[in-house]
Amino acid sequence: MTTEGGTGDSTHLEPATGWGTFEARRLGTLWLAWSNRGVLRISFDRLEDILADEAPVPTVYAEPLSRYFDGEPEDFGEVPLDLRGTEFQLRVWTALRAIPWGQVRTYGGIAQEIQSPRAMRAVGQANHVNPVPIIVPCHRVVEAGHHLGGYGGGIARKQALLELEGIRLHEGVLQPGQMELF
């Protein structure tokens, strides 16, 4: 995984080199932007601020996404990323990538995992600004009470992604036996 830490100085950051769309079964159109380093952004809405030419989504991104939306376990480990965020955000996003397909964690569990046990809200905020949902699976993080919690793409999308991975829900609550707590 390629990552770029946020320093406030964006002069050294590589610009987007392309953007395109991917049709995700059950979710509709995803908008992707990438640089020469890897995926910069995935959005459920049109990317209005990308100053690059539209192009077909490169195979290195499209094939794992296709497998994922076909219901095959996919960890996206080989997908190059160009993540840009603070040191804390990068730690959270790295922890999210370690959550296996079909499993969930709590915000508190992720906070403990990254050695910041009181930072549950900050973990939630890092999830909210995650630039590459699905590949960095913020949808796999739920509230301590087993409720879905929030999701930048909307609760219906979060539920659809979890159900695609075999997570059983009833009225927005995870069914017993599906959480690993730290």
Known catalytic residues are: 138
Contact 145, 139 (CB under 8 A): no
Pairwise CA distance, residues 34 & 182, whole Å: 34
Tokens linked to 56 = 């077909």
Contact 98, 80 (CB under 8 A): no
Listed in sequence order, the residues at least 6 apart from 42 whose beta carbon sits closer than 8 Å to its beta carbon are 30, 31, 32, 131, 132, 133, 134, 135
Query: What is the three-class DSSP state of 105?
Result: strand
Give the up-direction half-sphere exposure of residue 78: CA atoms within 13 A in the CB hemisphere: 8
**Dmax of the chain from CA atoms?**
48
Tokens linked to 91 = 């730690």
Count the Cβ atoms, other than its own, within 10 Å of residue 163.
12
